[in-house]
A and B are shown apart, each in its own frame.
Chain A
C-alpha cells in the first residue's frame, strides 16, 4: 500500500515539473513576442510600410527593405526551387540507391548544418570577389539559395516519397514515360508538401541576416537591378538595433519581421496538414 502511494507522490511531483516546463515554454514565447509587439505595433502604420527611411532610419518607413526582401525571396527561390526540387526528383524517382545517392544526401545534410556566417563568408569571397558580383542582389540570392537548398531538397524528397507507389504504377501502365509520370502525376500529388517546404524556406530567407550582411549590401533603396545592393528587412533591423538609430523603429521592424515569418510558417503548417488529410482520404 505504502509503495503505491509513494509512487503516486513521486509521479505527482514529476508531473508538476513537466507542467512547469511546458508553461515556461509558453511564457517565454509570450514574453518575447508580446514585448516586441507591444513596443512595435504602435509604430506600425500605412506610412511605415510604404515610405522610405529618412535620416538613416530614424524617421520614415521600411518600404525599400520590404521590397528588397521580396526581391530576395523571389530571386533565391528562382535558383533554389529548380535545383532543389529536381534534385529531390532525382533522388526519389530516378536514382539507384547506392553510394552516389548516399553521397548526395550526406552533402545536403552537411550543408544544412553549416552556420550562416560561413555561408556569408563564402558568398562574400566566392560570389563577391572571385566572381566579381560585389554587394548585390544576385550575390545575396545565390548565397541564400545555398542556405535553403537542403531544406527544399529534404522536404521535396519526403513529399515525393509519400506519394503512393500505385499512382506511379497506374500512370506507367497507361503508357506514360517516367518523366511524364513524374511531372503530371507525382509532383502534383506531392505539391502540398513541396509548397510547405517552400514556405519554410521563405521564412528562413526572410529571417536570415549573417549570410546576407556581407553579400547583399546595405543600400537602403529599392534595388533597381540584380547587381544593385539591397538592404533587406533583417539587416535593417540589425543596423537599427546595433547602431542605436531608433529603438521604436527597430521594434516596429522586428514586429513586421515576426508577422511575416509567422504568416509563412502558418501557411506551411496548413499546407502540410492538408496534404496529410488528402493522403488519408485517398489512401
Chain B
C-alpha cells in the first residue's frame, strides 16, 4: 500500500479509538460517581436556557457531560417516556395521555402576541385573538387597525409554545376536545421562534405568538393582552394571563447525577439568578 494511505489509515483508526475510549467515561444514572452523561431533550423554547444552565453546571462538575437536544416539546416528552432522554423539556403542560411523568417546574414564561412594529393595533382581547386564529376575524379593521387582511403565523404542530397557545387562547370545543390551529388558513408555518419573529417583522399585516423572554424588540411589537402589558412583572403577578410553565420531566425518581443537575436547575441561587435575568419568572 502506498505509505500515504497507510498513514491516513493509522491516523483515522487512532482518532476513532481515542474517541471510543471516551465512551468509557459514562456511568449509569444510579451511581454516585462524579462522572457521567446526561441527555436532555425537548422544547426549543426551554432548550437555550437549559443549555446555559448545563454549561454552568458542567463548569462546577467537569466530569459530567450534558447534551441538550432542542427538537421540540413533543419529541422531548416522547424521548423521556421511551428512555432515550434522561430529562425532558416541555414548554407546555402535559396532556392526559402523556402522563404520568415526574414534572418539575423550572420557571414560568409568558407568551406574547406579536405584530409588526408599524401596526397601529396595540391591544387585543382574548376573544379577539381567538376569533382571529379561528379565521372568524380576517381583517385588521375589525379590531381597530388598518383595512388589510390579517396574516396568521404559527409554529409547527409539535411546538410546546403552540400547544400552550392553543390551550390558553383557543380552549376546548363543545365536546371537550382541544381546538387546534387550522394550518390551512395560516400564512405560514414556521418551525422556530426566531423564524416566526423574523417573518412577522417582515410582514405589515402579520400576527404571531412567541415566548415573552425572547421577543426581538426592534423587529416585532408585543401587544397588550386583555389590556395588560406583556412584561415579566405582569406574568409574576398573574395579571398577564398568557403564561405557561417550563417543565423538566423524568420518567422515574431522579437519582445520582441527574438528581444533582435537577437540583441545580430548580433550587440553586445561580440558576435562579440566570433565569430571572432572561425575563423568566421563578415561583
Name A residues whose Cβ lies closer than 8 Å to a Cβ of B: 55-56, 71, 74-75, 77-78, 128-129, 134-135, 137, 183-184, 187-188, 191, 214, 217-220, 223-229, 239, 242-245
Q: Are B12 and A134 within 8 A (Cβ)?
A: no
- 10 example contacts (A-B, Cβ-Cβ < 8 A) are as follows A74-B12, A129-B82, A135-B39, A187-B2, A217-B67, A219-B68, A229-B69, A243-B193, A244-B192, A244-B197
Q: Are B69 and A225 within 8 A (Cβ)?
A: no
The residues of B that contact A239 with a CB separation of less than 8 Å are 70
The residues of B that contact A74 with a CB separation of less than 8 Å are 12, 15-16
Q: Are B191 and A242 within 8 A (Cβ)?
A: yes
A183 to chain B, nearest CB (A): 6
B111 to chain A, nearest CB (A): 17
Segment among B17-25, B100-108, B123-131, B168-176 that sits at the interface with chain A? B17-25
- Chain B 41-80 per-residue mask, 1 if CB under 8 angstroms from chain A, else 0: 1001000100110000000000001011111000000000
Q: Are A243 and B19 within 8 A (Cβ)?
A: no
Residue of A nearest to B41 (CB): A135
Knowing A188-B1, A243-B193, A244-B192, the reply to whether A228 touches B12 (Cβ < 8 A) is: no
> Considering residues B19, B71, B194, B198, which has the most beta carbons from chain A within 10 angstroms of its beta carbon?
B19
A257 to chain B, nearest CB (A): 19
CA distance A20 to B194 in the complex (A): 39
A76 to chain B, nearest CB (A): 10
How many residue pairs bridge A and B at CB < 8 Å? 94
Residue of A nearest to B84 (CB): A134
> Considering residues B5, B25, B193, which has the most beta carbons from chain A within 10 angstroms of its beta carbon?
B5
Q: Are A225 and B25 within 8 A (Cβ)?
A: yes
In-complex Cβ contact of B69 among A71, A219, A242 (8 A): A219
Residue of A nearest to B16 (CB): A78
Contact of B31 with A by CB under 8 A: no
CA distance A135 to B15 in the complex (A): 20
Q: Are B20 and A229 within 8 A (Cβ)?
A: no
The residues of B that contact A75 with a CB separation of less than 8 Å are 15-16, 19
